[in-house]
Amino acid sequence: MALATIPGYPRIGKRRELKRALEGYWSGKRGAVELDEVAAKVRQANWQAQVAAGLDLVPVNEFSLYDGMLDITALAGAVPPRFGWNGDAVDHDLLFAMARGKLGDPPAQALDMTKWFDTNYHYLVPELSPEQTFRLAGDKPFAELAEAQALGVPAKPVLIGPITYLLLGRMHDGGGSPLALLDALLPVYVEVIQRLAAGGAGWIQLDEPALVLDRTAEELAAVSRAYATLGEAKGAAKLLVQTAFGHVGEAYPTLAALPVDGIGLDLSGRGRENLALIARHGFPGEKWLAAGVVDGRNIWTNDLTASLELLRRVQEQVPGERLMVSASCSLLHVPYDVRAEDDLPAEIVPWLAFAEQKLAEVVTLTRALNEGEAAVADALAANRAVIAGAESSPLRGNAAVRQRLADLPLDAAHRALPYAERANLQRRRLTLPLLPTTTIGSFPQTGEIRTARAAADAGDLAPEAYDTFLEGQIAEVIARQEAVGLDVLVHGEPERNDMVQYFGEQLDGFAFTHNGWVQSYGSRCVRPPIIYGDVARPHPMTVRWARFAQDQTAKPVKGMLTGPVTILNWSFVRDDQPREASCRQIALAIRDEVADLDAAGIAIIQIDEPALREGLPLRHAEQADYLRWSVECFRLAAAGARPETQIQTHMCYSEFGEIFPDIEALDADVLLIEHARSGEELLEVFRTEGYAKGIGPGVYDVHSPRIPDVPELSQALRAILTVLPPGQVWVNPDCGLKTRKPEEVWPALENMVAAAKEVRKWVPVMTPAD
Ligand code: GLN
Ligand code: ZN
């Protein structure tokens, strides 16, 4: 009999109960007991939903108070020395100190946080050293297994596997590959697996998504070594090595040969290559396959008929009695329940499957295999109707947009003049000083702004009154920027709830949820927009505010737009056409907005692309194609601007080295980048590659409440000028200021302007770096 399971479930709680409990605990308003009670309730509600849906194996211990990688750090006692761990079991306060940092004496900085593969979830990076030791320092997996068993839940304990844990870790002191610590770490995993097996776990799942990246022969040898040891430790339990987020490529033969009982593979769209790997190499006769046919990353209803066909092909290699029907990855990356939405367009609701709906899909497919399709005929028929309805729905297609894209002239993604000529025209139009000062766009979203927005959303504040309020905010921010002496101003973005949502809400083809929260990190959740149809811009989105802001001042005010690639990457995107096609439609909408701003006399337009880098595919072989179309889409959005209109862009990450040619190919007139936390090496690539356009490396970090002083800022600026010629350099913070307090922002900007003025005096006598 095939078994129904999933790799993992959301854990923030259907009503984000865990978020509130965590934040209450951190603020001191709730005790540990209360936090633990809420956590247990969330786990139990999750299990109940999965048991009720009919899963045969329910994942446990993928629950986490903060992050699964951090849980292994705690479990294996890999606590960095600065947290002053006394060697006892790692308790909540130590766990949260590692997650969030700790004040006091001595204070300790949090572990670094970074993106989990190509999802929008973030994990806490293990900090390891060559002398690292590990030992079992907690009982979370055993306690959660016992808790589930006591409730009669058919529990499948889940842990992040040792290879992925180490490969995602960072080695201190130039310590080489963290895989060198494998032998030190394995005894902890052995102990955990033995105890779980002794505790009655039938299956134990070890997550090894690191196997879907390009891996060396050495790394694959470590995988074999690790699982040879763990295979011996498992006793009566069965081990499932679970991958996710794509195909396993050259790791397949290694995986197939491991002395474990099952392998979990992504068989959804992005992992479809796994099917070819199975066909090519065969599937080991004694193993189970957890077939990830339900996409755990997107929110679209599964085409059950197509999935059944896929499962039949899988069965040519793997008999039904060794098959698990599963999701392609943990359902952590989707919201809980479509039924919690009351405001989505009625027609698209059936197109959507959040976590609870995906459970039903997994179970329906499993029953179809075990009992025959007749047993689920009604569900299959209903699903076919939904899929057919979506395909033919007028909500999906917009003929005019498609026609326009098809008819685009060949040079549509090219500015009318080359950079050097544009730069001359812009210089004459803008008359800016050397080292012009500016900001990235947003100013503090104060309580006052949020209150007014909430009142407007609730209908308690009339639209005209809200507009007047926003105008007041903009006028104030403009006046203060003038007073501070900035050269290029912004309107401050008070009207924007979020840089993607604000645009999505005004575009055709987007829908928004009320409760569709997805965990980003810790207690932080986001509600990604849903792109369900062709995207079009029915009316201008920002022109009114840009024009109002420009009317308040003689200095240039930047128009402020979110770029097409960022809008795409931070949304759930329809999967019935290539992402590139949706991105090009968004690019057209932004292009129209650029044209309108340009026509309204806005001389500088900034198109933010903070998410361009993070959409880069995990496998090297797939990166070039992504970069091709994402660069093309940015250019399509920007290229309609007249040559004398300056296009700026902003990106807040610092891994530019590997995508430098693509950054250059964006052809933006000015590039404002995050830089304050990296050294001047970051800028070296711009110098050695001869980057000739404007560039504003952030001179201070906006993620800290600290107010940088003038000497420190002019030092930062001078350091930049040792690498880049002054004629190219802009002076700005690292990122937008919306999460800062006004009393932090204004003095910092005042100091930044003073530093720029001071360094301007120096520039003529400064000698270039070489
Ligand atoms: N213009 C946006 C802001 O200032 C950019 C935000 C971002 O880079 N994430 O808030
Ligand atoms: Zn930014």
Pocket test for ligand 1, best of 440, 498, 739, 745 (most atoms within 8 A of CB): 440
**What pLDDT band is residue 680 in, cutting at 50, 70 and 90?**
confident
CA of 492 to the centre of ligand 2 (A): 14
What does the pLDDT read at residue 106?
Answer: 82
User: Which of the ligands is closest to the CA of residue 491?
Assistant: 1
Contact 296, 333 (CB under 8 A): yes
Q: What is the DSSP string of 88-128?
A: S---HHHHHHHHH-B-SSS-BPPPPEEE-TTSS-EEEPPEE
CA of 345 to the centre of ligand 1 (A): 29
The CA distance from 157 to 149, in Å, is 11
CA of 711 to the centre of ligand 2 (A): 24
Residue 298 structure tokens: 């997107």
**What pLDDT band is residue 104 in, cutting at 50, 70 and 90?**
confident
pLDDT tens per residue, range 193-227: 999 999 999 999 999 999 999 999 999 999 999 99
User: Which of the ligands is closest to the CA of residue 652?
Assistant: 2
703 given a catalytic annotation: yes
Residue nearest to ligand 1 atom 3, measured at CA = 736
Residue nearest to ligand 1 atom 4, measured at CA = 736
pTM for this prediction: 0.95
pLDDT tens per residue, range 29-82: 999 999 999 999 999 999 999 999 999 999 999 999 999 999 999 999 999 999
Does pLDDT of 105 surpass 90?
Answer: no
Question: Which residues are near ligand 1 (CB < 6 Å)?
Answer: 440-442, 493, 499, 560, 608, 610, 650, 652, 735-736, 738
pLDDT tens per residue, range 518-547: 999 999 999 999 999 999 999 999 999 999
The CA distance from 112 to 130, in Å, is 18
Does pLDDT of 726 surpass 80?
Answer: yes
Residue 168 structure tokens: 């995602």
What does the pLDDT read at residue 769?
Answer: 41
Residue 696 structure tokens: 């504003």
What does the pLDDT read at residue 175?
Answer: 77
Backbone angles phi, psi at 366, to 5 degrees: -65, -45
Q: What burial letters (b/e) apply to 597-630, b meaning 16+ CB within 10 Å? A: bbeeebbbbbbbbbbbbbbbebeeeebeebbebb
pLDDT tens per residue, range 121-152: 999 999 999 999 999 999 999 999 999 999 99
Residue 491: beta bridge partners?
none
pLDDT tens per residue, range 634-648: 999 999 999 999 999
What does the pLDDT read at residue 766?
Answer: 56
User: Which of the ligands is closest to the CA of residue 735?
Assistant: 2
Residue 673: beta bridge partners?
651, 697
pLDDT tens per residue, range 231-261: 999 999 999 999 999 999 999 999 999 999 9
CA of 649 to the centre of ligand 1 (A): 10
* Strand 203-207 with 155-160, pairing: parallel
Residue 145's identity, in one-letter code, is L
Does pLDDT of 560 surpass 90?
Answer: yes
